Amino acid sequence: MRTENDLRRALIELEPATTSTAGMLDRVRAGAARRRQRRRAMIAIAAVTVVAAAIPVGAHQLRHSPGSTATATAQPGVTRTPSARPSPTRTPPSGVTLRFGFESRPTPGYLVVPSSIEPDVQRASIYLANVGIGRRSFGDLTVYTGPDFDASLALRGEPVTVNGRRGYYASLPDPDTGNGTRKPALAWEYAPSKWAVVQGDWTPAAARGAELALARAVSFDGTRTFAVPYRAVGLPANLHPFSGLFGVGGGDLISVVELTDLPLDQTTAASKRGASTTAVHLDVRKAGYIYQANATVGGRPAYVSREWVQVYLASGYALTVSTSQARAADYPAAVLRRIAEAVQPLPDPTVLTQWVDALTALPR
């Protein structure tokens, strides 16, 4: 079975080694000149045609005065037929607390950046200090806050002690590939039935020392802020955080928060099946494309489509408010737009020191 990385590498390989453009600009210039001449000729023909057709068109317009035949024009994504789907629950569910439950002291040679929070698992990305924080991490620290970790494989490994707790050096599935490939890892039981795992791209010889140093640097007696580049004021009362992602790489920042309006266990179960029932996604990142604005949201230029709303911020960033496919009927564009209005982004999302603690920025 091939992986997504195989595809990425193949596409990069398609890039031409050289991109000689000799002669192309000349052909473009010549083509543009021909089109100009043709357009002028077409305009002349069109002018004659319009004059010939003017009289019958004018009579038709007089017989049909404005408004007499007016029909309602559907606004894409704004007007929808009532959904046959059950309405989302009005009982406020208790959301996930967007705060990291672990901290990592500095470890020589490595940078550890807390990255995501889900109901039963939190993660941090591990980077090599001499390489810096790039788009791809070198490894991961995964902290299971619930009972999800299957310890059976780890228990077959070689025992080790991490800060007084039992742990194991073992070969565990690589979450990056998902194809069953295993990589060296260190898993330890940091609290009764709760596990954490350090895993990376080390060579087998180097893995143990690095994994143990990184594992020993992790403490679970404090918490660490999960920050977002906005304040959400006046969101629908039934929306609560389900997960959060913070990403940094290549100088760009990414913030994604999923909001749910269903009981947490239902959303979690769907997520584990690979389906998403989350209601709303708040996504701030550098915009790949900036579309010509067709609306103003919160005083900022925005692009409102049938299924999502994108609000343009400083430094080429954008806030995208969208829903999952399964919930599109419950959250049409008009609703997403109202939610986007309730999100007040920071003046410049690239100023990380100004990001706001999610516990105060979002409803709980």
Partner 1 sequence: MTFEEFAASRLPALLRFAVVLTGDRALAEDVVQEVLIRTHAKWRRISGLEAPEPYVRRMVVNEYLSWRRRWARQVPQAEPADTRSVADHAAQHAERDALLTELRKLPARQRAVLVLRYYEGLSDVEIAAVLGCSNGTVRGYASRALAALRIELGPLPAFVREDH
Q: Which residues contact partner 1 by CB under 8 A?
A: 1-4, 6-16, 19, 21, 24-25, 27-28, 31-32, 35-36, 39, 116, 118, 175-179, 243, 245, 256, 258, 270-271, 274-276, 278, 281, 283, 287-292, 303, 305-308, 310, 316, 320, 322-325, 328
Nearer Cβ to partner 1 (70/74): 74
Distance CA 268, CA 287 (A): 29
Residue 156 or 306 with smaller CB distance to partner 1 = 306
| Nearest distance, CB of residue 228 and partner 1, angstroms | 14
Distance in Å, CB of 222 to partner 1, minimum:
24
Vertex 35, ends 30 and 37: CA angle to 5°? 100
Q: Collapsing DSSP states into helix, strand and coil, what is residue 231?
A: strand
> What are φ and ψ of residue 350, in 5° steps?
-80, -10
The CA distance from 33 to 266, in Å, is: 62
Of 178 and 234, CB closest to partner 1: 178
The CB-of-71 to partner 1 minimum distance in angstroms stands at 25
Closest C-alpha to 257, from 355, 124, 118:
118
Residue of 289, 299, 348 whose CA lies nearest to 320: 289
State in angstroms the smallest separation of the CB of 192 from partner 1: 26
Nearest to 245 by CA among 63, 71, 120, 98: 98
Of 256 and 334, CB closest to partner 1? 256
CB of 320 to partner 1, least distance (A): 6
- The residue (of 83 and 354) whose beta carbon lies closer to partner 1 is 83
Q: Distance between CA 295 and CA 265 in Å, rounded?
A: 37
